[in-house]
Structures are given as structure tokens and as C-alpha cells.
Amino acid sequence: MKTIGLIGGMSWESTAEYYRYVNEFTRDRLGGLHSARCVIYSVDFAEIEQLQVQGRWGEAGEILAAAAQSLEAAGADLVLICTNTMHKVADVVGAAVSIPLLHLADATADAVRASGLRRVGLLGTAFTMEQDFYRGRLEGAGLDVRIPDSDGRALVHEVIYEELCLGIVREESRAAYQRVIEDLVAAGAEGIILGCTEIELLIGPGHTPVPVFPTARIHAQAAVDAALAGAQYDTLATPASR
């Protein structure tokens, strides 16, 4: 199995989910005691968040690029940025290493298209919803992307940074997100992209009238698929065959 490099910590709440997902998906594919070959570089999110707010994306990109280089030096064969928002600097990160960067928007677009849908609502940070680096990549893959109105965007952003990134999950916030989602569905959205990896802590398939696309789970699945492509395993290593 190839080694998956994870740039995490933004926030660590969702990075923990990434680690769980890549191991669960590997176990599901290979069985027995198999787990993923992976390395994690966890940054200090307080530092990254300040750079986001101040618009100092170049400096944030340098931090993530250095993290990617550390992962490559540690043996990673591919690298993931474990957050949607920081894909704003994906090109900088990808250029800093000689291993592939698995882009989250590409994996998400593939999952949406595979479902047969095209018109989707996008929830995420204000940066992800309002700027072109993520929406534009989805639209370039053939999707029709809808975002909430200004009040809805402000609410979604606030809950991410003031609650979910701190591990706070409130029923009141879930209900508020559901109202935002209902508005997107009324505007024609056939599915909802949970375009911030922390949103999966709050919203799941049973909370919406249309399919949801949980980006951390999708990204992790794509990473495991890439890491296992062409691999062969000795089934005698599994407990069931001993």
C-alpha cells in the first residue's frame, strides 16, 4: 500500500475523522487487521486562521507547503490537504513536492457526478462558498453550484469557526443548518456538498431531504483508492485465514 500523507490540524477535530476514515476504508477493502499506511503533519490552526482572516494566503501556503515537504520526506507517496478552505493554496502546496496532491474538489466532483446529480448546494466557510478557488473547480467539472444567501453564509461560517472547530455540536445549530439546506433545495439543489470537513460533525444523511456529499469521507475514500491501486496482498496475514 502506498503511504498517504495528511496535512491536518485545520481543525484537528476533522483530522481525527480523516485518520479514522482512511483506516476504516483500508480495513473494509483488505479485511482482518489491515490498517492504512499514513503519516500526519498537524499544523497549529490558530496561526492558520489568523492568516486567513488577514488575507495572508501566501504565508499560509508556505506553511502548508513545508508540511507537504515534511510528509514527502517521511515517505508519503501522495498528499492530502485535510480542509476545503486551504485548497485556496493547493497549487502552491502541490508545486512544493514531487508526489501527487489529491485535490478535494476533484474527489468531490467525481462523487457528485457518479451519483447522477449536477445541481448542488455548497456549504462551507465564507472563503469556500464565496471565492472561486473551490466553486470554480466544481463548476469546471460540470456542476451547477448554488450557495446560501448572505445571512445563510454568515450563519454557516460562524458555526464552523465558533462551534464545530472547537468540538461543539449543538442541536440549535443543526436546525439552523437544516433551514439553510431547505432554502437551497427550494432553489433547485438536488444534493448538498458539506464543503467544510467539520460540517460532517453536525449534518449527516438523515438530516436532509436530499443526498449529502461529506467531503472528508469522500477525500479519504479517494486517498485509499489511490493508495491501493495495483496493490496485492497476502491473505494469509488476516486472522480469519490463520
Clarify whether 196 is annotated catalytic.
yes
Determine the Cα–Cα distance for residues 139 and 152; give it in Å rounded to an integer: 21
Q: Nine-digit cell at 106?
A: 476533484
Identify whether 150 is preceded by a cis peptide bond (ω within 30 of 0): no
Q: Nine-digit cell at 233?
A: 496482498
CB 93 within 8 A of CB 7: yes
Q: Of 83, 108, 197, 215, which residue is the catalytic one?
A: 83
Alpha-helical runs (H) found in 31-74: 45-53, 57-73
Q: Of 82, 196, 208, 215, which residue is the catalytic one?
A: 196
Buried b (16+ CB within 10 A) or exposed e, 106-116: bbbbebbeeee
Counts for the chain of helices (H) and strands (E), in that order: 10, 7
Q: Provide the edge-to-edge strand list for the sheet that holds 212-214.
A: 144-146, 119-123, 191-194, 212-214
Closest CA to 194 of 83, 51, 40, 45: 83
Clarify whether 83 is annotated catalytic.
yes
3-class secondary-structure state, position 231: coil
Residues with a known catalytic role: 83, 196
